[in-house]
């Protein structure tokens, strides 16, 4: 039986562990990992709505941590949910959000070598225009509305759950699950779907992330709201290849 002293010791140990590892507060059900429900806002503090997204190419916001950038994109066409057979790794994707099911969000951290957008430069970008690349069969291919990482030429399709279309990336981009309030035309991030690589990201770039974000606790979960910045102004240099 656990006595009072043992109970208090357990509580203190648990509290210490949680404070040092905030991600344990997230809950996982199947392929979905729930995090804080966060409203996505503009720089002026107003909520991001479907018209704001429709008039821009893409945005960068942060979720589920204050240091993990994501893409927010209006594909301007429905992005239907997809099943296990279409994904890498095996997971289902809830599809697009918003009034036309065309709004999607994905981690902007490449799954190959974890390249990510910074204020100074971004090697991974959403490319609305037609681009050329080598597909999974190592054949010359072209496509539009793809996420392209110029670090090692990995290519992802945001209309198919971030599926890898070419390059060395081993798995699809982590999808950010969006909740849409049709009454207010507002968007909320509620969790992730698919394989997460956040701990590898924190371990590999710990010192650099601290410098980039001027923050000591790089694993701090974001709360209440996340500001979405136009991708073409978020990074000074957007590397395209």
Residue 6 lies in a domain: no
| CATH code, domain with 214 | 2.102.10.10
Range of the domain at 159: 26-238
- How many angstroms separate the CA atoms of 147 and 181, rounded? 27
Residue 172 lies in a domain: yes
What confidence tens digit (pLDDT) does each residue in 165-179 have? 999 999 999 999 999
The predicted model scores a pTM of 0.86
pLDDT at 20 over 90: no
- How many angstroms separate the CA atoms of 213 and 234, rounded? 13
Residue 169 lies in a domain: yes
Residue with tokens 């606790």: 217
What confidence tens digit (pLDDT) does each residue in 55-99 have? 878 999 999 999 999 999 999 999 988 754 444 444 578 899 999
Residue 33 lies in a domain: yes
Question: Are 107 and 68 contacting, i.e. CB atoms less than 8 angstroms apart?
Answer: yes
Residue 20 lies in a domain: no
DSSP string across the chain: ---HHHHHHHHHHHHHHHHH-GGGGSEEETTEEEEEEEEEE-TTSPBP-HHHHHTSSEEEEE-SBTT-EEEEEE-SS----B-GGG-SSS--B---BTTTT-EEEEE-S-TTT-----SSEESEEEE-S-EEEE-TTS-EEEESSEEEETTTTEEEEGGGTSEEEESS--SPPPEEEEEEETTTTEEEEEEEES---HHHHHHHHHHHHHHHHT-S-TTPBP-SEEE-EEHHHHSSEE---
For residue 69, the model assigns a pLDDT of 98
- Total structural domains within the chain: 1
- How many angstroms separate the CA atoms of 208 and 224, rounded? 26
pLDDT at 218 over 80: yes
Residue 159 lies in a domain: yes
Residue 175 lies in a domain: yes
Question: Are 70 and 222 contacting, i.e. CB atoms less than 8 angstroms apart?
Answer: no
Residue 57 lies in a domain: yes
């Amino acid at each position: 039986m656990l006595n009072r002293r043992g109970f208090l010791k357990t509580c203190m140990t648990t509290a210490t562990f949680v404070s040092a590892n905030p991600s344990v507060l997230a809950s996982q059900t199947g392929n979905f990992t729930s995090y804080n429900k966060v409203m996505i806002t503009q720089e002026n503090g107003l909520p991001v709505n479907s018209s704001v997204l429709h008039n821009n190419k893409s945005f960068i916001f942060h979720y589920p941590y204050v240091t993990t950038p994501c893409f927010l994109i209006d594909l301007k066409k429905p992005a239907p949910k997809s099943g296990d057979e279409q994904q890498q790794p095996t997971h289902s994707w809830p599809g697009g959000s918003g009034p036309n099911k065309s709004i999607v969000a994905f981690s902007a951290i490449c799954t190959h070598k974890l390249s990510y957008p910074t204020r100074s430069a971004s090697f991974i970008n959403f490319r609305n225009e037609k681009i050329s690349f080598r597909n999974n069969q190592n054949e010359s291919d072209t496509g539009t509305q793809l996420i392209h990482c110029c670090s090692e030429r990995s290519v992802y399709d945001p209309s198919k759950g971030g599926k890898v279309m070419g390059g060395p990336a081993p798995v699809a981009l982590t999808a950010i699950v969006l909740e849409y309030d049709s009454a207010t035309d507002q968007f909320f991030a509620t969790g992730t779907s698919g394989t997460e690589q956040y701990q590898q990201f924190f371990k590999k770039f710990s010192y650099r992330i601290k410098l980039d974000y001027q923050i000591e606790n790089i694993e701090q979960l974001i709360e209440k709201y996340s500001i979405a910045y136009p991708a073409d102004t978020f990074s000074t240099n957007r590397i395209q290849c």
